[in-house]
Structure 1
Amino acid sequence: MPRTSDNRTPRIVVDDVRKGFTLRRTHSIKETVVAAVRRKPLTSRFHALDGVSFEIHEGEAVALLGFNGSGKSTTLKMISGVLRPDSGRVLTRGRVAGLIEVGAGFHPDLSGRENIFLNAAILGMSKKETEARFDEIVAFSEIEQFIDTEVKHYSSGMFLRLAFSVAIHTEVDILLIDEILSVGDEPFQQKCLARIRELHAAGKTLVVVSHDLNMVADLCDRGIFLRNGRVEFDGESHEAVARMRA
């Protein structure tokens, strides 16, 4: 059963979740024909998650930790609704925003201004809500003078600044974050971290994936360490980091 920290209704429930992916073992028509003639398997099955269970309650900041291929990003995508489990269940309560593929909803032929409204709508905000936060979003991104320029003319840094700014100014209950420190230069990264801490202080629920173990240990109170698609440890974040390093 999922780990339960108290009697409150959880914001997130991940209950005995399993997820697998089919991997191709050939890369061309020729390889496929040769493998078929030799009766070699053309695909294999990778089990990303194998019976993962936990609960996250309102206001918790939780780090999903693990080495490459451990299942942490798959788990985050399950919570966001991007992926569905093969078995088990994933339940969320409240509005969820995922900083998983920052800017995925942006259209290159639209201006920054138009993309703010488009991406905010994708994240579940109404036009009225977006209008109320528009100036704050633009100011945070620090690209005011380019806001009416088509996004296809933005540098990668400008693009990420605006996309991240939209995401962290949405009205959400649960914020999912994948590799926050890949966004922008160091001053902007620190501003993003400060904003995320503000959201946590306001009672928002955070789930964070990052390879920066010191950052997640400082930002999050709890760590869930995944290994080979299973929960190996669920507890205090610094202890979770220590176990991973060991």
Structure 2
Amino acid sequence: MASVEINRVSLEYPVFEMAGRSLKVSMINRMRGGPAGEARVTALRDVSLSLKDGDRLGLIGTNGAGKSTLLRVTAGVASPTRGTVNVQGRVISLIEKGLGINEELSGDANIELPLRLLGASDAEVAHAKRWVPDFTGLGDFMKLPVRTYSDGMKARLSFAICTAIEGDVLILDEWLSAGDLGFVEKAERQLADVLGRTRILVLASHSLDLLRHACNKIAWIENGRLMQIGPVDQVLNAYIEATTTKVA
């Protein structure tokens, strides 16, 4: 059984003001009793939600609302300042390009480490080492250091590695970020196949049509707060009304 339990999660991080962006200067100012030049930004505020097998959760909200931060916390990439996150099942996340990839190593050499970080077995790693080069179409570039790749080639490699094994919880920031246009159609088919075998989906997107198509519930995030969570049409209609009113 896969599940996601997020209980009263908040996340804060420090931001150094221009006058205090030097850590050395900030520390000296603090020791002298002056301002350290540090402010704290609250990216998530007391967020709670629960997901079970079959749930397809869409995250909606304006830019900077906290959607990507919530994805990172759910994926275990970021740790909350307060609250708890409990995820049962293997998590596959397509939110961090190049996560676990060493740019000094070749494409071939980079396949195993990210998969091990995702908990892949020996058999899954062996399969990926055969499948990833063929799927990406990178050919001889798989023998070269990743630092020699274009951004599109890096995206291909990252996408292929992340979708090479099956997961229970799939976390996506927008529907697709797989590099060059010529690769997108192929990647969409792979992603649809992976999604069909995934128990829980958490998807952040600005596309209302996509959220209606892919999700069975929506969470509306604004200023780091969970404004509303529930049936797709109910929450999207409330979000549209609030956004329209604010613009007007």
TM-score bin (small chain) = 0.7 to 0.9
Contact 1:59–1:200, Cα closer than 8 Å, also in 2: no
Partner letter of residue 153 of structure 1?
A: T
Alignment partners' CA distance in 1, 2:58 and 2:188 = 14
Please, which of 140, 147, 153 is the counterpart of residue 135 of structure 2? Answer: 140
Match of residue 238 from structure 2:
243
Partner letter of residue 170 of structure 1?
A: I
How many angstroms does 1:22 deviate by? Answer: 2.0
Match of residue 16 from structure 1:
8
Match of residue 6 from structure 1:
none
CA displacement 1:92-146 (0-9 Å, x = unmatched): 1011122221212111221111111222122221332111233332222222342
How many angstroms does 1:166 deviate by? Answer: 0.6
TM-score when scaled to structure 1?
0.83
Q: Structure 2 vs 1, CA of residues 102 and 12 (structure 1 numbering), >3 Å: closer, same or farther?
A: same
> Among the aligned pairs, what percent are the same residue?
30
Give structure 1 stretches of 5+ with no counterpart.
1-8
CA displacement 1:9-68 (0-9 Å, x = unmatched): 6610011112222222233589869x8899656222222211111111113221122222
Alignment partners' CA distance in 1, 2:237 and 2:180 = 28
> Is 1:211 aligned with 2:206?
yes
Give the number of equivalent residue pairs: 238
**What SS is found at the alignment partner of 1:129?**
helix
Q: Structure 2 vs 1, CA of residues 197 and 236 (structure 1 numbering), >3 Å: closer, same or farther?
A: farther
Match of residue 153 from structure 1:
148
Q: Structure 2 vs 1, CA of residues 156 and 223 (structure 1 numbering), >3 Å: closer, same or farther?
A: same
Match of residue 3 from structure 1:
none
Match of residue 246 from structure 2:
none
Taking only aligned residues, the RMSD between alpha carbons, in angstroms, comes to 2.7
How many angstroms does 1:227 deviate by? Answer: 0.9
**What SS is found at the alignment partner of 1:121?**
helix
Match of residue 49 from structure 2:
54
Does 161-170 or 79-88 show the bigger shift?
79-88
**What SS is found at the alignment partner of 1:182?**
coil
Q: Structure 2 vs 1, CA of residues 201 and 43 (structure 1 numbering), >3 Å: closer, same or farther?
A: same
Give structure 2 stretches of 5+ with no counterpart.
244-248
